């Protein structure tokens, strides 16, 4: 479901921006600092409820403005997201609507507008923390595993409550209710992730062969010792968790392990190889969603040539073009034809967008 229209107000340097997108290849050109990446952020916000550039939603709001707004339409949904600046020491708050109705969780945006981004920081999937790798897998699990979103939201609520309890020094009797809730939602979460990762493995191998020329060993860790149930693992960790003030086992500790021999991939691979491995993860995921599940997300591509030699860039471009999905690509030059002849070209300057 490609994005048809996109509007942003007071988002980064964009005071007000409107554009009508083509279902094929869209190229956004302009000098550095003109707002090209901010347009991609606005589109990403519609499908994820957050930025791909910062953890602080308040940074999305234009200087001096009280809030930032993104609004978009696909063929089946309208999606609106507002980021409201916090008052005093309060953090920014984010609210979203799908087809005019407020969503109970920002995770619901994933179903309304599937969107993925490829940017220069994609290599964080390899050299960054586990949170990014969980988000990478969960995004497609939301689409292909019915009920995963409900379990995910239930688990997140229970985890917040259990963490508050362990920080308060709660004993076993007080924790048992939250342990029961975490186990009830966390076990099906873990099974859904494991099933989907198994489904992904052939595509991940093929993408590595194409881009890297060799394979890195990939394995999914559930976040606790699977020789025990999650309920047993939580009970066994209670004393440790109270002493540390946090829940140490469960799906929120899951991770994708990437290894070359006996060492972590980030310790062995060059920066360019790390980026290629990260691209293999993202492209394999997109290819599986399209070929097996008939889901074609909008793909946002920021600065595609960064840190790749011409040979590897050509391999990446070939796989991206084969996706047959909506692409929105930023570039310095409106004449860029990396991904073929654009269907629509936009020029950005001083926070404004013009269709060429």
Radius of gyration of the chain (CA): 21
How far apart are alpha carbons 329 and 289 in whole angstroms?
20
Q: What pTM does this model have?
A: 0.93
Q: pLDDT-based confidence at 312, cuts 50/70/90?
A: confident
In the numeric block, which tokens belong to residue 127?
């050299």
With contact defined as beta carbons under 8 Å apart, do 293 and 143 qualify? Answer: yes
Token pair 């939603």 is found at: 57
Q: pLDDT-based confidence at 337, cuts 50/70/90?
A: confident
With contact defined as beta carbons under 8 Å apart, do 21 and 6 qualify? Answer: yes
**Sheet harboring 263-264: ordered strands across?**
217-221, 255-260, 263-264
Mean pLDDT of 144-156: 94
Does residue 352 carry a pLDDT above 90?
no
What string of DSSP letters covers 31-51?
-TTSSHHHHHHHHHHHHHSS-
Note the pLDDT of residue 35.
92
305-322 core/surface letters (b: 16 or more CB in 10 A; e: else): eeebeeebeebbbebbee
């Amino acid at each position: 479901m490609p994005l048809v229209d996109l509007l942003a107000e007071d988002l980064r340097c964009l005071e007000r921006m409107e554009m009508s997108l083509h279902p094929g290849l869209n190229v956004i050109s302009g000098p550095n600092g003109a707002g090209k990446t901010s347009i991609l952020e606005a589109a990403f916000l519609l499908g994820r409820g957050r930025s791909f550039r910062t953890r602080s939603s308040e940074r999305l709001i234009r200087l001096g403005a009280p809030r930032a707004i993104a609004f978009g339409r696909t063929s089946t949904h309208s999606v609106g997201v507002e980021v409201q600046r916090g008052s005093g020491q309060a953090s920014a708050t984010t609210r979203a609507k799908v087809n005019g109705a407020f969503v109970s969780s920002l995770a619901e945006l994933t179903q309304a507008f599937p969107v993925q981004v490829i940017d220069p920081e994609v290599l964080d999937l390899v050299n960054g923390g586990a949170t990014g790798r969980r988000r990478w897998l969960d995004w497609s699990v939301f689409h292909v595993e019915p009920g995963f979103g409900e379990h995910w939201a239930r688990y997140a609520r229970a985890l917040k409550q259990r963490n508050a309890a362990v920080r308060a020094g709660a004993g076993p009797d007080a924790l048992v209710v939250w342990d029961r809730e975490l186990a009830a939602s966390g076990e099906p979460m873990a099974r859904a992730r494991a099933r989907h990762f198994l489904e992904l493995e052939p595509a991940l191998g093929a993408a590595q062969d194409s881009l890297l020329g060799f394979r890195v060993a990939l394995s999914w860790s559930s976040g606790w010792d699977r020789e025990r149930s999650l309920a047993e693992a939580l009970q066994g960790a209670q004393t440790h968790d109270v002493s540390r003030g946090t829940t140490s086992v469960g799906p929120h500790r899951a991770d994708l392990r990437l290894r070359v021999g006996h060492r972590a991939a980030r310790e062995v691979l060059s920066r360019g190889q790390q980026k290629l491995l990260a691209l293999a993860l993202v492209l394999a995921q997109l290819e599986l969603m399209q070929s097996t599940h008939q889901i074609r997300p909008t793909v946002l591509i920021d600065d595609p040539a960064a840190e790749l030699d011409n040979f590897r860039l050509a391999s990446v471009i070939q796989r991206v073009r084969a996706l047959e999905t909506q692409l929105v690509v930023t570039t310095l030059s409106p004449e860029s034809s990396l991904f073929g002849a654009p269907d629509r070209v936009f020029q950005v300057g001083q926070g404004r967008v013009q269709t060429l």
